Amino acid sequence: MRDGVSIIVPTRNEGAVIVRCIERVCAACPSAEVLVIDGGTDDTAAALAPLLARWPRLRYIANRPDLGKGHAVSVGVRASQGALLAAFDADLQFLPEELPRLLAPLLEDRADLVLGSRFMAGAHRADGSVTGLRGLGNVGFSRFASWLSGQRLSDVLAGVKAWRRQVTDSFAWTSMGFSYEAELPLKALRRGFRVIDVPVTTEPRQSGASSVRVVRTAARLCADMVRFQWFPLGPPPA
């Protein structure tokens, strides 16, 4: 039987910050299973080795080949044991200490999928955390997703979210890349699950650079969102 909380941290070449990230995640949710899904080629595995001895519920999974962020999270879902799941970006733009805020509506049975939002009332964006072009893009995609789904979604692409396992057990997960961020809420709403936003804090990226190619990703995301909303959901995973 699935039980407890599993937090999935997809990472690619975040060795400079991964230890700080995982220490804070484990401290914020000390009873949770934490899975690091590593698709990079840097020293992340070696950097995490001392933490694996300190935190018995911390797991490291080398993800080869790494097919994208959605693929990494799906690998984490399949490997995890929790009834409640969360995904958290490793670059520390979001605060691990706010993970309990996203889990609370699930524990209180007020939601089935909780999306962190950088743009709703109560959110805080530190200077440099959301650049102008990307910020406009995020708002635009969120409005498009809101129009498609019929429910207002203020930040469909934020890299922190939590959900009941029943949500991702209810449809075929098809996006291996960045589009998975929109796939979860759009398909969850089509299945009748309760989806809500909660405000979160955003800080500047702590290390490295985003691997997202803005123009190509934007075109793919628009096409994928139409597919997620109007194409058959497909059978649940076996």
45: helix, coil or strand? helix
Are 91 and 14 spatial neighbours (Cβ–Cβ below 8 Å)? yes
Using one digit for the tens of pLDDT, what is the confidence trace for 155-183?
A: 999 999 999 999 999 999 999 999 999 99
Tokens of 50: 């001392």
Domains of the chain, first to last = 5-230 (3.90.550.10)
Amino acid symbol at 54: R
Residue 67 has pLDDT above 80, yes or no: yes
Integer Rg of the chain from CA: 17
Residue with the larger pLDDT of the pair 138 and 181: 181
199 Cβ contact partners less than 8 Å away, ≥ 6 residues apart: 116, 117, 120, 121, 122, 123, 124
Q: How far is CA 202 from the centre of its chain?
A: 14
What is the pTM assigned to this prediction?
Answer: 0.93
- Output the pLDDT for position 136: 80
Predicted pLDDT at 3:
81
**Distance separating alpha carbons of residues 149 and 130, to the nearest angstrom:** 25
208: confidence class by pLDDT, cuts 50, 70, 90: low
Amino acid (one-letter) located at 120: M
Q: What's the rounded mean pLDDT across residues 65-77?
A: 95
Closest by Cα among 224, 152, 213 to 181: 224
